[in-house]
Each structure stands twice: as C-alpha cells, then as structure tokens.
Structure 1
Amino acid sequence: MKNQVQLITYVDRLGCKSIADLNSLFKNELKGLFGGLHILPFYYPIDGEDAGFDPINHNLIDPRLGDWNDLNELSKEVDIMADLIVNHVSAKSIQFQDYLQKGKESKYAKLFLTYDTVFPNGATEADLLSIYRPRPSLPFTMVKLNDGTSKLIWTTFTSNQIDIDVNSEIGIKYLEDILETFQKGGVKMIRLDAAGYAIKEKGTSCFMIDETYEFINKLRAKAKAKGIEVLVEIHAYYKTQIEIAKRVDYVYDFALPVLVLDTLFNKNASSLKKWLEVSPRNAITVLDTHDGIGIVDVGAEGGNAGLIEGAILSKIVDQMHINSKGNSLKATGGAASNLDLYQVNCTYFDALGRDENAYLMARAIQFFVPGVPQIYYVGLFAGENDMELLEKTNVGRDINRHYFTKDEIAANLERPLLIELKELMLLRNNHNAFNGDFSVVESAENILNVIWVNKSYWAELYIDLETMKMNVNSSE
C-alpha cells in the first residue's frame, strides 16, 4: 500500500454512474490527490437494505456500475481496496433462498450459521448475555422453511444479513472464490468487513476471540498469496485495538476522529498526545467514514478508563449536536432506523460547526499523525448534512451519504478551503519526510507540535489551540 492519502467512496455518489466514470474522475479532476481508492460495496445489488453490505452476489459487480474489466482498468490508475464481507450474505441470495426451499437437503445448508450450530445443547442466559452486541437486539432471526419448520439463524446485524459459517467447508470455499475474483479484478487490498464477529463459540463473547485471530490469519495468508493486503475493521476499546494491531496487517485508527474534536473543542491536546504515544503505526487514519463518528473507540470499558473521560466525552457529543444545529440528533440513536447506537451520525464538517479553519486543522492533524490517511468522499468536499436524504430514507447514516452531482464537484473543487486542503494532500503524498520518523514535541496542553524527519527531510505541524492558528513547515 502506498504511503499516500486514500479516498473512500461509493461509485454512484461521486458524480459518477459507473466505474468507468470514476476512472475518468481520477484521470482528471482528482489526478495526483490519492494513492489509493477504497470503493465501498459495488456488488449486486448496491441499493440493498445496507447500501451494498448485504450482497446477493458478492462475485458480481452490479451491472449498473460496470464489470470486472472496468475495475481492472481503474486499478491501472490507482490502487484499489474492496470490502470482503466475511460475516454474512443477503437473505435474498440464491444460496439462502435454496436453503429456505430445501432445508438441510440444500447443498448450501452448511453455509449458514444456525443457533444450534453453536449451541447444540441449548444456551443459558449467561451464554446469551455474554455475546458482544453492536446492536440492541439478540443476534438471531427465526426463519420459516418451505416444509413448515422454523429455524433460528444467526443474524449479527440485520435480519436480511445472514451469517456465514466461515469454518464450514462450503463457507471456506465461498470466501476463497471471492478472493479469486478480486485478484482477477485488480484489487490490491481488502477490508475484512465485520471480521470481529465471524467466529462464534459457546461461552465466549463471540467477538475477537482467539479463534477469530486464527480465522483472520488464515484468510490473510490466502490473500497475501494472491498479492492482496488486508485491513481489519474493528470498533473496540482502545487497548483492544492496540492488541489487535499487533496481530494483523492494518487496522483503522477509529479513536482519532473524537480525539481531534476533543483537541479543537476544548483547546487541549493532552488526550491526543497520550494516544499518539501508543497508537498503532500500522493504521489507516480517518476522521469520517460511511458510518457514524464512533464513540466506543475512545470511551471506557467496564472499570477501565478510556482515552477521554466520560464527562468530557458527553460534552463532545453534545457539542457535535449543537454545532450541527440539532440535525445530528435527528439521525443518531433511536431517532432514525439506526443500526449502531454507539455512533453520532453527522458529517465531520458539520460536527465542527462548518468552521473552515478548524476543519483544515483537523485534516492537517490527520495527515501528520502516524498511519496512512483516508478521506471519505463527503469529507473531501467538506460536505454538509444531507437532511433531504435523511428525511427520504429515515436511515441515520444517510445524513452523511450525499449523492454529489458533477456540477457540485466542480464547484467544490474551486472553494478556497478545498484548494488549501489539496495543497496539504499533495504535501502528504509527495514529501519524503513522511517516510521517516514521527515525534511529538513536548509543549503546553494548548499546543500541538508534531514533526516527521527522514534524513535531511523534515515536515512540521504547529497548532496554537488558544488562537486557533496553524503553521505547516517543511524542508524543500
């Protein structure tokens, strides 16, 4: 993976109707700005119940977007990352529909994880309560088979996302076939979506247990044999994230978005500096994603302190809602049909009250901390909350999933804020200092001063949080 800024986007929300259109965008308007491109699910269909994360056919690019030849062409312009959705498949898939019709006689029967696969003798209340849940309900859905019998199926996320038994012979082959398709399509890196939930064992949390690491390592070895790198997506307590990072290729720095807000809101970089002392270096850094702004990643767990004190964290969340003029409240928690209750749904620009100076500082911090920076397509244009889309779908995360037109993109690229942002991106992409050593300069809590040094090359970020003034300096 190139040590350059990446873009994460849907194909059809960036003024494009197809992968070929996206290729044109990278050859023209976005040329030189990105070393990598994470394309959010482009499999059939892209407009399911979870914006492509519920694939009916993981090996088929939605024909409305193009085909694998188109993706191969795009991979010649920029390195491609794709999602390998390891935990589940759509209830509308051919495989699950065949299972509904034929039950245990279906050739796909062992592909799906049932309640009794994990709990053959039943589960105790303690067994069920110990299962780690990202959602408020239990991870099971009762389905009725064609013969009139009923079955409890594991559905970690929604009833339309049917969990796969990744340890079964057919489950292993299912994932291997997708890797083979990815290799032929020019994919250079995969994100293992929801990998933390893939292994279920009685008497455990069923989340990032030892067997999960074994599964990830086996899948990673298969991917590497095909020249594909692996990123693991895990939202978890920060010490858990540090441990996970030791055992995988890359992880996300999901703590960074709220730590940056803490730094800017409270004019105090202490918590961010402490994180930078221990944060994983094999990280993809983000401020915004296709999901919400995660809170669990900086919060406490049980009796263990988080990266930010609870009272301060609550005020940060409140400030995001105030800055967005209450619009984020309409998209967060139980206010809309949300899947994740531990995230705030809001664009990062709106979370900062549309303060362009603060937004540029936030991106500068992202570019200067250790890791490979990734920008979400809405964040690239300092996008605002899409209340019209939210009202239309009542899906909380859609507030930050705007469909840009070509005219909107052209106009945004001429904004002074975007011109300054592009200069920062080009510095991050091209300066040799960022391939060297990182350090935090000891300073007062209201000062953030970090520096990269690589032999005679250096780059420095200095922010005075009291005056909200920033200096970026570097060697020639």
Structure 2
Amino acid sequence: MKNKIQLITYVDRLGCKSIQDLNSLFKNEFKGLFGGLHILPFYYPIDGEDAGFDPIDHNLIDPRLGDWNDLKDLSEEVDIMADLIVNHVSAKSIQFQDYLQKGEKSEYASLFLNYNTVFPNGATEADLMTIYRPRPNLPFSMFKLNDGSVKLIWTTFTSNQVDIDVNNEIGIKYLESILDTFEKGGVKMIRLDAAGYAIKKQGTSCFMIDETYEFISQLTEKAKAKGIEVLVEIHSYYKTQIEIAKRVDYVYDFALPVLVLDTLFNKNTSSLKKWLEVSPKNGLTVLDTHDGIGIVDVAGEDEKPGLIQNDILDKIVNQMHANSKGNSLKATGSAASNLDLYQVNCTYFDALGRDENAYLMARAIQFFVPGVPQVYYVGLFAGENDMELLEKTNVGRDINRHYFTKSEIKTHLEKPLIKKLKELMIIRNNHKAFNGDFNLIETSEDVLNIKWTNKEHWAELLIDLKAMKMETSFS
C-alpha cells in the first residue's frame, strides 16, 4: 500500500452513477489527492437494508454501477480496497433461499449458522448473556422453511444478514471464491468486515475469541498468497486492536477520532500522547467513516481502564451532541434504526461544532500521526449532518452518508477550508519526511508538537491549544 491518503466512498454518493464516472473523478477533480481508494460495497445490490453490507451476490458488481472490467480499469488509476464481508450474506441470496426451500437437503444447508450449530445441547441463560452483540437483543432471527419447520438462524446484525459458518467447507470455499474474484478484478487490498463476529463458540462472548484470531490469520495468508493486503475492521478495547495488529497487514486506528476530540475540546494532549506511545504503527488512521464515531475504542473494559476516563468520555459525547445542536442524538442509539449502540452518529465537522479552524487542526493531527490516513468522502468536504436523509430512512448512520451532486462537489472544492485541506493533503502525499521517522516532541499538555525526519527532509506540526493556533513547516 502506498503511504498516501486514501478516500473512503460509495460509488453512487459522489455525483457518480457508475465506476466509470468515479474513474473520471480521480483523473480530474481528485487528481493528486489520493493514493488509494476504499470503495464501500459495490456488490449486488448496493441498496439493500445495510447499504451494500448485505450482499445477495458478493461476486457480482451491481450492474447499475458497471462490472469487474470497469473496476480493473479504475485500479490502474488508483489502488483499490474492497470489503470482504466475512460474517454474513443476505437472506435474499440464492444460497439462503435454496436452504429455505429444501431445508437440510439443500447443498447450502451447512453454510448457515443456526442456534443448534453452536448450541447442539441447548444454551444456558449465562451462555446467551455472555454473547457480545452490537444490538440490544439476542443475535437470532426466526425463519420458516418450506416444509413448515422453523429455524433460529444466527443474525448478528439485521434479520436480512444471515451469518455463515466460516469453518464449514462450504463457508471456506465461499470466501475463497470472493478472493479469486477480487484478484481478477484488480483489488490490491481487502477490509475484513465484521471479522470479530465470525467465530461463534459456546461459553464465550463469540467476539474476538482465540479462534477468531486464528481465522483472521488463516484468511490473511490466503489473501497475501494472491498479492492482496489485509485490513481488519474491529471496534473493540484498545489492547485488542494492538494484538490484532501483530497478525495482519493493517488495522484501523479507531481510537484516534475521539482522542482528537478530547484534545481539542479539553485543550489537553495527555491521552492522545499516551496512545501514540503504544499505538500500532501499521494502522490506517481515520476521523470519520461510513459508520459512527466509535466510543468503545477508547473506553474501559470490565475493570480495565480505557484510553480516556469514563467521566471525561461522557463529557466528550455530550459535547458532540451539543455541538451538533442535538441532531446527533436523533441518529444515535435507540433513537433510530442503529446496528451499533456503541457509536455516535454524526459528521466529524458537526461534532466539532462546524469550527473550521478546529476541523483543519483535526485533519492535520490525523495526517501527522503514524499510519496511512483515510478520509471519508463526507469529511473531504467538511460535510454537515444530513437530517433529510435521516428522516427519510430512519437509519442513524445515514446522517453521515449524504448523496452529493456534481454541483455540490464543485462548490465545496472551491471553499477556502477545503482548499487549505487539499494543500495539506498534497503535502502529506508527497513530502519525503513522512516516509522517515516519527518524533513526538515533549511539551506541556496544552501543546502538540510532532516532527517527521527523513535524512535532510523534515515536516513539523505545532498546535497551541490554549490559543487554538496551528503551524506546519516543511523542509
């Protein structure tokens, strides 16, 4: 992977109707801004219940967007990352529909996890209460088969996302077939989506257990054999992230978004500095993604302390809600159809109260800390909460999934804030210092000073939080 900023986007939310249109955008308006492109699910269909994360056919690009030849052409312009959705498929998939029709006689019967697969002798109340889940109920949905029988199918996320048995021979071949398709389509890197939930075992949390690590390691080796790098997406306790980083090519730095908010809100760099001392250096840094702003990534776990004290974390969350004028409250937790109750749904610009100076500082911190930066398409334009889309869908995360028009993109790119952001991005992509050594210079808690050095080249960031002033210098 190039040590250059990547863009995270859906194909159809940047004024584009197809992959070919997206290719044109990279050759023109976005030229020089990105070294990589994470295209959020473009499989059939892109407009399911979870914006493409519930594929009916993972090996088929939604025909409305194009085909694998179009993606191959785009891969010649920019390195492509794609999602490998390892945990589930759509309940509308051919495989699951065949199972509903034929039951145990279906060739796909063993592909899907049901209650009895994991609990052949039944489950105790303790077994069920131990399961870690992103929604406030049990991870099962009831399905009626053609013969009239009823099965409890494991559905970690929604009832339209049926979990697969990744240890079963059919499940293994299913995932391998997707890797084969990716290789032919020019995909250079994959993100293992929802990998933490992939292994279920009685008596455990069914999330990031020992067997999960082994599954991730094995799948990573298969991908690397095809020349594909692997990024693992896990929202979890920060020490879990550190452990995962030892086993894969890249992990997300999901702790950074809240740590940056803590730095800017509280004029205090201590928590951020402590994290930078121990954070994985093979991280992809983000401030915003297609999901919410993760709280679990900096919080404590059981009796173990997190990166930010609970009382301070509560104040940060409340400050986000206040800065967004309460709109984030309408999209977070039980206020909307949310899959994850441990995130705040809000654009990063609104989380900062639309403070342009603070926003540019936040991006500068992201670009200067170790890791390869990813910028979400809404964040690229310092986008605001889309309350109209939220009201239309009642899906909390849609508040940060705006559909931009071509005219909106043109207008945003001419804004002074975005011009300054673009200048910073181009420097981050091309300055030789960022391929050298990272130095966190010792300062007081209200000052952040980062310097990169590479032989005679250097790049430095200095932020005075009391004055809310930033300086960047390069040589």
TM-score, normalised to structure 1's length? 0.99
Match of 1:463, SS state, is strand
2:358 matched residue in structure 1: 358
Counterpart amino acid of residue 388 in structure 2:
E
1:242-321 correspondence runs (5 A): 242-321=242-321
How many Å apart are 1:452 and its aligned residue?
Answer: 0.8
How many Å apart are 1:248 and its aligned residue?
Answer: 1.7
CA deviation string 1:418-461 (max 9, x = no partner)? 11101110111001111111111100000000111111111110
1:474 matched residue in structure 2: 474
How many Å apart are 1:133 and its aligned residue?
Answer: 1.3
CA distance, structure 1, for counterparts of residue 247 and residue 284 of structure 2: 15
CA distance, structure 1, for counterparts of residue 380 and residue 168 of structure 2: 41
How many Å apart are 1:471 and its aligned residue?
Answer: 0.4
Please say if 1:133 is aligned against 2:133.
Answer: yes
1:421 matched residue in structure 2: 421
How many Å apart are 1:110 and its aligned residue?
Answer: 0.7
CA distance, structure 1, for counterparts of residue 100 and residue 38 of structure 2: 34
Counterpart amino acid of residue 349 in structure 1:
F
1:39-118 correspondence runs (5 A): 39-118=39-118
2:218 matched residue in structure 1: 218
Match of 2:407, SS state, is helix
CA distance, structure 2, for counterparts of residue 144 and residue 274 of structure 1: 52
Match of 2:459, SS state, is strand
CA deviation string 1:28-52 (max 9, x = no partner)? 0000100000000000000000000
How many Å apart are 1:170 and its aligned residue?
Answer: 0.6
How many Å apart are 1:340 and its aligned residue?
Answer: 0.9
1:433 matched residue in structure 2: 433
1:232 matched residue in structure 2: 232
CA distance, structure 1, for counterparts of residue 389 and residue 272 of structure 2: 34
CA distance, structure 2, for counterparts of residue 137 and residue 38 of structure 1: 31
How many Å apart are 1:83 and its aligned residue?
Answer: 0.1
CA distance, structure 1, for counterparts of residue 326 and residue 251 of structure 2: 32
2:326 matched residue in structure 1: 326
How many Å apart are 1:16 and its aligned residue?
Answer: 0.3
CA distance, structure 2, for counterparts of residue 174 and residue 461 of structure 1: 47
2:445 matched residue in structure 1: 445
CA distance, structure 1, for counterparts of residue 224 and residue 434 of structure 2: 25
Counterpart amino acid of residue 168 in structure 2:
S
CA distance, structure 2, for counterparts of residue 418 and residue 307 of structure 1: 31
How many Å apart are 1:402 and its aligned residue?
Answer: 0.2
Match of 1:443, SS state, is coil
1:145 matched residue in structure 2: 145
How many Å apart are 1:85 and its aligned residue?
Answer: 0.2
CA deviation string 1:344-379 (max 9, x = no partner)? 100000000100000000000000000000000000
How many Å apart are 1:132 and its aligned residue?
Answer: 1.2
CA distance, structure 1, for counterparts of residue 131 and residue 396 of structure 2: 25
TM-score, normalised to structure 2's length? 0.99
1:369-380 correspondence runs (5 A): 369-380=369-380
Structure 1, gaps ≥5 residues long? none
Counterpart amino acid of residue 59 in structure 1:
N
Match of 1:167, SS state, is coil
Match of 1:100, SS state, is helix
How many Å apart are 1:148 and its aligned residue?
Answer: 0.6
How many Å apart are 1:127 and its aligned residue?
Answer: 1.2
1:11-22 correspondence runs (5 A): 11-22=11-22
CA deviation string 1:108-167 (max 9, x = no partner)? 101101111111111111111111112111111111110011111111111100000011
CA distance, structure 2, for counterparts of residue 353 and residue 209 of structure 1: 39
- Cα RMSD, aligned residues only: 0.7
Match of 1:388, SS state, is helix
Aligned length: 475
1:383-402 correspondence runs (5 A): 383-402=383-402
How many Å apart are 1:86 and its aligned residue?
Answer: 0.3
How many Å apart are 1:326 and its aligned residue?
Answer: 0.8
How many Å apart are 1:66 and its aligned residue?
Answer: 0.4
Deviates more, 1:355-364 or 1:299-308: 299-308
Match of 2:330, SS state, is helix
Counterpart amino acid of residue 445 in structure 2:
E
Counterpart amino acid of residue 52 in structure 2:
G
Match of 1:403, SS state, is coil
CA distance, structure 2, for counterparts of residue 226 and residue 212 of structure 1: 22
CA distance, structure 2, for counterparts of residue 438 and residue 96 of structure 1: 49
CA distance, structure 2, for counterparts of residue 241 and residue 66 of structure 1: 36
Counterpart amino acid of residue 262 in structure 2:
D
Counterpart amino acid of residue 308 in structure 1:
I
Match of 1:142, SS state, is strand
CA distance, structure 2, for counterparts of residue 40 and residue 134 of structure 1: 20
How many Å apart are 1:23 and its aligned residue?
Answer: 0.1
CA distance, structure 2, for counterparts of residue 186 and residue 60 of structure 1: 14
How many Å apart are 1:82 and its aligned residue?
Answer: 0.2
1:205 matched residue in structure 2: 205
Match of 1:183, SS state, is helix
2:24 matched residue in structure 1: 24
